[in-house]
Structure 1
Amino acid sequence: MAFQPGGIECVTPLNRSTDESSFVVAYCPGDCLTNPQYALQDLLNDLNTNENRLDKALHYDGFSGFRDFINFHRLQYFKEQARLQKDLSVKELMFMSGFTSRSSFYRYFANVEKMSPGEYMDMLHAENK
């Protein structure tokens, strides 16, 4: 179940497969998803909802919680920027995407993509040759 600002329920679900059309993403201000300081309380304030309601919406969309949600979107941004800015290193792209811990980023990336960020970058560079 997704929610509109003010906590009014909406029948449009969040959906990982359409991440950019996600209701929550649509209501995040500017660079909130790539801002390393952006926290759960900020999202709750931006959506004018409470943690229980947001948690239900995120679970409905397949996320285990706020951290999974924000890391997923940061990873999508990382991959997009890796394709667009091939001259940047994994570390530069990681920080640009809002990740602050190299080990957490590598662990999350490998868990989702089933390869390391370096292997992903190598794959991108090989596609362009």
Structure 2
Amino acid sequence: MTSLTSSKVRSVGYGWGVLVVAGAGSYYFAKRSINADREERAQAEEQRRQQRERMRVQEMVSRGTTAKAPHKSKRKEHAAAATGVADSLDPSQQVEGGDPAPVTHEQAEMAQRGKYEAAEPYRTRRGDKFS
């Protein structure tokens, strides 16, 4: 009877060993695949970002302005505000230099949080029957 019991123990151990090795192998290959997909998406996003930047610069060059022009108009506006003298900039330059839609602190915080994330974490009331 002892030889029958030891063969059952060995077969169970062998089965578990095969299961663990198969699970580890599938985890390894799945993780490798997921990481490759993430890297592809990151590269594609970076290429899209670079393409948008090139298009933005190309558009600015075609308009005849440079990337530094809005910064110069901001400096002129700040200097004019400090001296109290209004500078005669055309309206398009004033709009480029200023922020068309100022963002409040609350809006900036909401942009950092997820779309469905609560403004503050949920806290249960004291005296709950399960606490």
**TM superposition score category, shorter chain reference:** under 0.3
Say which structure is richer in helix. 2
Say which structure is richer in strand. 1
TM-score where L is the length of structure 1:
0.18
